[in-house]
Structure 1
Amino acid sequence: MSEVVLHELVKTYPGGDKRATDGVSLHIPDGEFMVLLGPSGCGKTTLLRMLAGLELPDAGQVVIGGRDVTYLEPRRRNLSMVFQSYAVFPHKRVFDNIGFGLRMRGVPAGVVRRKVEWAAELLELTPYLDRLPAKLSGGQRQRVAVARAIVVDADVLLMDEPLSNLDALLRLSFRAELKKLVSELGTTTIYVTHDQVEALSLGDRVAVMREGRIVQCGTPVEVYSHPADEFVGGFLGSPPMNFLTGLAGGEGESLHIDFGGQSLPLPRALASYRGKELRLGIRPEAIAVEPGRTGPDGAVEVAVEVFEPLGSSTLLTTKLCGQTLKVSASAGFRADPGERLWLRLPPEQCRWYDPETQLALEAKE
């Protein structure tokens, strides 16, 4: 079993005015692909380094497979790690690079050869085993680094932004290869990235970090469709979630949110906010464009500011009562700047947030 449990991990660097990790707790079941996602400086790499034993926590506990490894040196944790840089030995052949960790552990030569050949075949490196890294492409060198990590039969595989040095097209193909590989291996994997596409496409679950804390952890669908706060909604998505500020109002059973002249229905569960400001969050692709209609129920009128054809879709930047609203329309849709459109915001796609706490509100009827 290679279950990983992090309990209240705290790390403060000397001279720092804030904690790199501030009481982080996380449970990663055996065999899960967990992605740590967040902007630069949020603490995700520090968390990974504490898992690897490269950093020691000021407080808290790291447990792997039921064993407390908080203060064990890295070599005694039975982990393998893939770094952002390829970190391959330039003077060693691909074969020797892949088998380096096995040789350091004193594994017999015959076993080393068998394992290296297995990993090379899995990662399509067999034709390159006698080459030096200088004669490989960036993607091939990254595959060598991954192969070196998987041959040692580690309990946990750690990856620190392994695709960030690859170009966009290569990153796309290697991402698919990596997901297939990890699925076949069944190894508990913890992957650090700031790239939301990598996080959503690779992970079984995604832990979104901000300022040393995990602000939401769930499946990719959960964190994308139901952001726990405005930070998560604004960090995930390209373009990110729209946020509109309005005033809750209405009488009796009739509730609405007013944006300064235009309004939308408001769930009855938010009746306690009557007379107060609320924030509405909605994804650009969830908004339906209804050209040629005037005043449809549950829709708002906007003015088009920018029209951007993106090939597979069309991005519109519009204004609703002075607030910006991004809309992802179909590929063939056209609209000129200054044109007025009606937009329908489906109630089931609307998320509601408290303006002060920025936390999501329960709005089920």
Structure 2
Amino acid sequence: MSIPEIQQAWRVVGRGDPSKVLRFDRDVPVPKKPVKGEVLIKVHAVALNPVGYKIMRVAPSFVIKRPYISESDLAGTVVDANGTSFKEGDRVYGWIPVPTIIKTRMGALAQYTRVPANNLVPIPENTSPVQAAGITLASMTAYQALFDVGGLQPEQSVFINGGSSAVGAFAIQLAKAAGCTVTASASGKNEEYVRSLGADKFVDYTKAPLHETLANQPPTPKYHVFLEAVGLIDTSLYTNSEAYLAPGGTFVSLGPQPKGFDIAAIVKVAWKVFLQPRFLGGTNRSWKLVQVRHKREDLEQIARYVAEGKVKPIVDSVYSFEDTLKAYDRLLTSRATGKVVIKVDPDVSTE
């Protein structure tokens, strides 16, 4: 397979929202020979993640030098196996972690990119590149939140707040694949979608404050793990969790997401979660934060679930490479159910 010298790529050239700082360049050099342990990928599809635009907005130039190519999740074909276990022509999917992007300035939003071979697995036969592109980061976050951080075991029960989000959707499926009972929340319009993912029970968070609904109708038995997959800055779900989270259970958060630099809200979270002692009303349940990290065994286990049909990739919408800014607009609405995917290669099937 011939590899061109020049490619098209979206590069971040400043600090701010994607619409203001992303530039479509048509004369970007294709990466030269990958370093040891890396492969060169012809990119078929890329999935967007909130961390991508957050870095665009806040990262100073001393953290990441511009211009750089953004985004982590991708699927494509190996065009230079570089002595790894892969071979040219292999269809693969995986991710480029943020620290690697910061170091190399080479993310996924390009026609060709370098990826650590250890961060890739073969695309299952029942999955298209467009579907595979959005699996890795959200599914690994969900997997590690449930099983590594939360310690969830088969036949236990879990509550997933934000069942219609990308992480929530994978969490429902992964928990069911492990033999757990799943209750999930979302707005009422997404009930059918959340149940289709495998949720045993559904709670509409729009009808009343969720912590009140759960406290007034506590489950039997109580949940072993509570996964907060929305990024709420409000601590009520945690501070009231003794009513619905079992003794020894774990409240797992993807991390509170304040709107802007909300000092008062951040201080409240710090007090309620980390500092308030039990004798002053502190919560007698464990609160833990998930920070996804690369684990080859997790990537492989998720790929097995996908190949077996136990976990299905969830694609919200698909955009052409030229319409990448429209894809970010969709992501920024916070209404996507599943992954927002960009078809870098127009010839790749979405099915």
Q: What is the TM-score normalised by the length of structure 2? A: 0.25
Question: Whose Rg is larger?
Answer: 1
**Which has the higher relative contact order, 1 or 2, with Cα contacts under 8 A spaced 6 or more apart?**
2
Q: What is the TM-score normalised by the length of structure 1? A: 0.25
Larger fraction in helix: 2
